[in-house]
Amino acid sequence: MSAISRLSTSRFLCKACRRNTRLPMSSALTKTSHGSRAFATDSEMVPFCGWSMPVQYKDGVLPSHLHTRQHASLFDVSHMLQFKVHGSDRIKFLESLVVADIAGLADYTGTLSLFTTEDGGIIDDLIINKTPEHLYVVSNAGCADKVLEHLQAVNNDLGVALEVLEDKALVALQGPQAAKVLQSGVQSDLSNMFFMHGGVVEAFGIKDVRVTRCGYTGEDGFELSVDKERAVDLTKALLESKEADVKPAGLGPRDSLRLEAGLCLYGNDIDENTTPVEAVLVWTIGKRRRAQADFPGAEIILRQIKEKANRKRVGLVSKGPPARAGANILDADGNKVGHVTSGCPSPCLKQNIAMAYVPTALSKPGTALHLEVYKKRIDAQVVKMPFLPTNYYFGK
């Protein structure tokens, strides 16, 4: 078990994620175990949260996006922070930092949760998976340093140990044919593994592959955690599958896919100045946790649930030039009432979509608003999210 160590870092502005991230002092971008091999072929590499990552492949973002929706794509997400929490009080320890009811999870299941501040802001979003032996957690690459520092800052008198999985790679197989592809390489029946369920399997002859049925595209799919020395073997097996046409996909389609699915990107749509209530993520707060009011920021968050927050994350649709992050939102009288946090042309819906924060009074679906794009006023309308129905697997 490895101890958590703090890397010596310098600051830089990552254009790909539009927020401050960290790089090693050498200023060299970290490569994933696939970076110079299976995933790098025919790809355009960019700096992203201190890593060298593929943004798109030779087919381009639009074809890759549609391929994921229609077939299956493989994403290298090894830059994400993976760690385990060990110890008899591991649930008590992590529940002191997040809003989830981890104790209420069944073994081999998981949930999306949030690290929150005492002011109710969101430090990061994360996936927590419960097993009989430990908690397995995946959180964002851009928040890795502050999350580890946050975990270390807790007065840990519970005998809990953190294991950062630096020897693991992570890939995401996403799309309607993902299950068919993975099933060809595992013995266990994947039809019995539902959304947010997981376990350890042998995949394509590779032992101890941790599989979680989840992803960030809105499609059925799996995240696979594998030893770094076997990561390329697993990647090749999936990309060379005879069960379906699996193609590698980069950050570009991953962003447009998650936006169609109404999923937040940390640093754009949620941050430490945003509460779960404003972000419409109240569903991540377990009923028991609400009743006990024992998570960071509970007083502020529970008050907002009762009285409603002043602003709310909404979906917007528009035509004409697409609004990007930072675009102003105007009401019918031309007053600035908010800003766009994420936006792009939707490949599937053939119209522009965006996420934004507006006053709660203007958040009702059907509300007419305006967007400032290239100094032009564009008509927009509030709509429900997700923009596109999700296809998570909950059983036959």
Using alpha carbons, list the distances in angstroms from residue 73 to 64, 282, 297, 302: 8, 31, 38, 40
Determine how many CB atoms are found less than 10 A away from the CB of residue 311. Answer: 21
Q: Residue 107 is encoded by which pair of tokens?
A: 């073994």
Query: What tokens appear for 375 in the block?
Result: 């100094």
- CA 161 to CA 108: how far, in whole Å? 20
Q: How far is CA 375 from CA 196, 342, 367, 372, in A?
A: 43, 18, 22, 6
Residue 223 annotated as part of some ligand binding site: yes
Backbone angles phi, psi at 252, to 5 degrees: -60, -60
Strands (E), 161-300: 161-164, 168-174, 198-203, 206-212, 221-227, 246-249
How would you class 31 by CB atoms within 10 Å of its CB: exposed for 0-12, middle for 13-18, buried for 19 or more?
A: middle
Known binding-site residues for substrate equal 223
Known binding-site residues equal 223
